[in-house]
Amino acid sequence: MVSNYFFCEGTVESLDYQLLSRTMPISPIPFNGKSEGAPFMRGYVEFARTLKGSGSAKCIAFRDRDFDYPLPSNVELLKVNKSKSLDEVYVGYRCSIENYLFTPDLFWRYIESTMEKSVPRSKFPTKDAVVSAFRSSATEIAPLQAARAALGKMKGSPEDEPRQRTQFLAKSAPLPDALDADACRSLAVSYIEGYLQKTGNFSVAVFHNTYDAFLEEFHSEGFLAEKYLSVFSGKDLIAAFERQNKFSIGNPGNKYFKFAVRCLGEDLSPYPDLVQLRELLC
């Protein structure tokens, strides 16, 4: 009997595990951060093969696309590992797992279905008000996302030091107080000058040009209509939404995320890439 293996980012308490264990036919094995993924999967599967003799095991991993890769032209999975290895690594169409769970549609459904007092109902009397609040948050973080996207486009191979590319803020850090274009430009330039320029792959002048192009795109009316929901960091969008509206969405175990996971467990069709992942695992 052949044993198949399915890996995801995070821990058993993370949103990745919660969503994928609810929607996929195989329970995922979390491997923490993406930089640890490949060696962990190889070691895990080789050990399992030794015990079980499953020499033809199928090994699939799913992780956040972040800004390591551009948005695919079609709403589908992107296979990203190029080296000869025993695993297949895919990234989703949307930027991060939060992008699947925090959307105007799901948030409005949550408001309609609950009397949760932590949600300031007066701020969101209609679905249009929710959509407007999401777009306001997206507009605020657009310069930060342009900086992340510019660094992502300038990087070398995504397999090389993925953490050192677009996460120029500490992972646990809140959003910067200033999110205007000049402030976010300065943050990224300081990062380039302090580390990335030493690799020989980055140029401040190239960054400025790339950043300006993304700034223009990310502030366009067409982009802010809906595309931002797939391109922008879901974590950043949640942080801006919380800050603007003065209430907390909460941690992965809270009522809202449990509701969102349950909704997608019942109907995954809004996300064809996740449906594709499920089919790969069957």
* The pLDDT of residue 172: 47
> Please, where are the H alpha helices in the chain?
15-23, 37-52, 97-101, 104-113, 127-154, 163-166, 181-194, 204-218, 221-222, 228-231, 234-245, 255-266, 272-281
State pTM to two decimals.
0.89
* Cα first-last separation, the chain: 15
| 234-245 vs 127-154: helix crossing angle, rounded to 10 | 140
Cβ contacts of 224 within 8 Å, gap of 6 or more = 135, 138, 139, 142, 218
Name the residue ranges covered by the structural domains of the chain: 5-98+262-281, 103-248
| 181-194 vs 204-218: helix crossing angle, rounded to 10 | 150
> Does residue 176 have a pLDDT over 50?
yes
> Does residue 83 have a pLDDT over 70?
no
> Does residue 175 have a pLDDT over 70?
yes
- pLDDT, tens digit, for every residue of 15-73? 999 999 999 999 999 987 766 666 777 777 777 666 665 556 678 889 999 998 999 99
CA-based nearest residue to 143, from 196, 213, 205, 191: 213
Q: How far apart are CA 125 and CA 120, in angstroms?
A: 9
Q: How far apart are CA 112 and CA 239, in angstroms?
A: 22
> Does residue 275 have a pLDDT over 60?
yes
Task: Look up residue 69 and give its DSSP letter.
Answer: S
Burial class (CB in 10 A: 0-12, 13-18, 19+), 183: middle
